[in-house]
Structures are given as structure tokens and as C-alpha cells.
């Protein structure tokens, strides 16, 4: 095989010239273009990464704000619930106090009405008892009723304490006559009978004066300066009224 070195050399030179031309007018611009494209691509990727980081930060901030909003909402709801419960408790307490006050006022009004009704009943009963007593006694002659009341008065005198008897006798001894009170005037004979019975009960002579008080209805009473001895229907009615009042207050 014969090799033409001149031809080979010329071809080599042509190849080198072609490579130089390509390198100068083709590969270098292409490399520059590729480099610029790579740089642009890197910039785009960096911008995209930055945008992605900004989006992530914005999403984190949005999540934080959403959490804060949720926490604030929960706090406001809890405060509103607590305030509502406190207001409810306050309203219930006020309602309970008002109900208790109304109940107390109603019970007091009922008690007052009951007391007033009982007092009215007692007063009416006293009036009726007085009317009945006066009608009954109007049918009896004094000589029938006087001995019975006089005997009862003498029994009362015999059961008096020593202090009460001393009060009556000392008053009579000091020129303070003991008043003998009856519902109607006594005849001379009845007055003498009363005087004798009282002297016998006291065991000594006392000074008596006779008075009439229709309010005692029937019976006989002794009024000293500090002591009163009753055996009359007025005394009995007053005693019954006191017993009724005591029973009423004890309830």
C-alpha cells in the first residue's frame, strides 16, 4: 500500500483549518449560547427555589395566623361561655332571692291575715259571750247569782298569797277603803251580806266601799290600791282571751 504523504499532509492541514474555523465560528458561539442558557436556567431554578421558599414561608405564616385566629376564637368562645354561665348563675341567684322574698312576704301576709282573722274571731267570740252572758243573767234574779259569785270570791281570798292579803289589809288600815265592784247596785241587805262574808274571809274588820261597773257583766270584784281579786264574768272572759292569745302565739 502506497501512502501519499503530501496528500495526507494537505488533508491534515485542511482538517485543522476546518477545526479552527468550526472552533472559532461555530463551537465558541454555541458554547457561549449553551453557557448563557445554563446560566439562565440556573437563575430560573434559583428564582423558582426562592419563590418556593417564599411560598413555604407564606404558608407557614398563614398557618401560624390561622392557629392564632383559632386560639383567639377559642378564647373568645370560652370567655363568652364563662360570662354566660356567670350571668346565668347571677340571674338564678337573683330569681331565687326574689322567690324567697316573695315567699317570705306571702307567708308574712298570710300570718298577718291569720292573726287578724284570729283576733277578729276572738273579739267576735268575746262580744257574743258578753251578749249571751247578759241575756242569761238578765233572766236570773240577783239573789240567785250574787251568793254563787260571793262564795267564789271568798274562796279566791282564802287562796291569796300572804303578800296580796297584806296589800289589801294594809290599804284598808291606811284609810284606803277596798272597793267592792258589782255590775248592778246592791240592796242594803245584799251589801250587808257581802260585807259580812268578806270580813269573815279576811278575819278582821275592813273598810269597804261599793261601786258599780256594768262592764264586769256579772259577779263581784275587789279593787285594792295594788291588788285586784276577781270573780266575775269579765275576769273569766279576760282569762279565756289570754289563754286563746297564748295558744295562738305558741303556734
Residue 204: pLDDT above 70?
A: no
Give pLDDT, residue 52: 82
Using one digit for the tens of pLDDT, what is the confidence trace for 75-112? 888 888 888 888 888 888 888 888 888 888 888 888 88
pTM for this predicted structure? 0.46
Give pLDDT, residue 50: 81
For the chain, give the secondary structure using H, E and C: CCCCHHHHHHHHHHHHHHHHHHHHHHHHHHHHHHHHHHHHHHHHHHHHHHHHHHHHHHHHHHHHHHHHHHHHHHHHHHHHHHHHHHHHHHHHHHHHHHHHHHHHHHHHHHHHHHHHHHHHHHHHHHHHHHHHHHHHHHCCCHHHHHHHHHHHHHHHHHCCCHHHHHHHHHHHHCCCCEEEEECCCCCHHHHHHHHHHHHHHHCCCCCEEEEECHHHCCEEEEECCCCEEEEEHHHHHHHHHHHHHHHHHHC
Instruction: Tell whether 118 is covered by a domain.
Output: no
Instruction: Tell whether 90 is covered by a domain.
Output: no
Q: Taking the CB of residue 216, how many other CB atoms lie within 10 A of it?
A: 21
Instruction: Tell whether 162 is covered by a domain.
Output: yes
Give pLDDT, residue 248: 54
Residue 113: pLDDT above 70?
A: yes
Q: Binning pLDDT at 50, 70 and 90, where does residue 233 land?
A: confident
What's the mean per-residue pLDDT of the chain?
77
Q: What is the mean pLDDT of residues 156-183?
A: 77
Instruction: Tell whether 168 is covered by a domain.
Output: yes
Q: What is the mean pLDDT of residues 183-198?
A: 87
Count of the separate structural domains present in the chain: 1
Q: What is the mean pLDDT of residues 212-216?
A: 86
Residue 149: pLDDT above 80?
A: yes
Q: What is the mean pLDDT of residues 187-201?
A: 87
> Would you give the distance in Å from CA 213 to the centre of its chain?
53
Residue 222: pLDDT above 80?
A: yes
Instruction: Tell whether 79 is covered by a domain.
Output: no
Residues in the chain: 251
Instruction: Tell whether 52 is covered by a domain.
Output: no
Using one digit for the tens of pLDDT, what is the confidence trace for 1-26? 566 667 767 777 777 777 777 666 66
Domain that holds residue 193: 141-250
Nearest CA to 215 among 147, 143, 130?
A: 130
Give pLDDT, residue 152: 87
Instruction: Tell whether 238 is covered by a domain.
Output: yes
Give pLDDT, residue 251: 55
Amino acid at each position: 500500500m502506497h501512502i501519499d504523504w503530501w496528500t495526507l499532509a494537505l488533508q491534515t492541514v485542511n482538517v485543522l483549518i476546518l477545526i479552527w474555523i468550526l472552533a472559532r465560528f461555530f463551537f465558541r458561539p454555541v458554547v457561549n449560547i449553551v453557557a448563557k442558557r445554563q446560566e439562565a436556567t440556573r437563575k430560573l431554578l434559583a428564582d423558582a427555589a426562592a419563590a418556593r421558599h417564599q411560598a413555604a414561608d407564606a404558608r407557614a405564616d398563614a398557618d401560624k395566623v390561622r392557629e392564632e385566629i383559632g386560639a383567639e376564637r377559642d378564647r373568645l368562645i370560652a370567655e363568652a361561655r364563662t360570662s354566660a354561665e356567670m350571668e346565668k348563675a347571677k340571674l338564678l341567684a337573683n330569681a331565687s332571692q326574689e322567690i324567697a322574698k316573695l315567699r317570705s312576704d306571702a307567708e308574712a301576709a298570710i300570718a298577718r291575715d291569720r292573726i287578724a282573722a284570729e283576733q277578729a274571731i276572738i273579739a267576735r267570740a268575746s262580744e257574743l259571750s258578753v251578749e249571751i252572758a247578759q241575756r242569761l243573767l238578765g233572766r236570773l234574779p240577783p239573789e240567785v247569782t250574787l251568793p254563787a259569785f260571793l262564795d267564789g270570791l271568798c274562796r279566791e281570798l282564802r287562796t291569796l298569797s300572804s303578800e296580796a292579803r297584806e296589800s289589801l289589809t294594809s290599804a284598808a288600815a291606811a284609810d284606803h277603803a277596798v272597793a267592792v265592784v258589782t255590775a248592778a247596785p246592791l240592796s242594803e241587805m245584799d251589801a250587808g251580806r257581802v260585807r259580812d262574808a268578806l270580813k269573815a274571809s279576811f278575819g278582821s274588820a275592813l273598810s269597804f266601799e261599793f261601786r258599780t261597773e256594768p262592764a264586769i257583766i256579772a259577779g263581784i270584784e275587789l279593787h285594792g290600791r295594788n291588788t285586784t281579786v276577781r270573780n266575775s264574768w269579765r275576769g273569766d272572759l279576760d282569762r279565756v282571751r289570754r289563754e286563746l292569745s297564748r295558744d295562738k302565739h305558741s303556734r
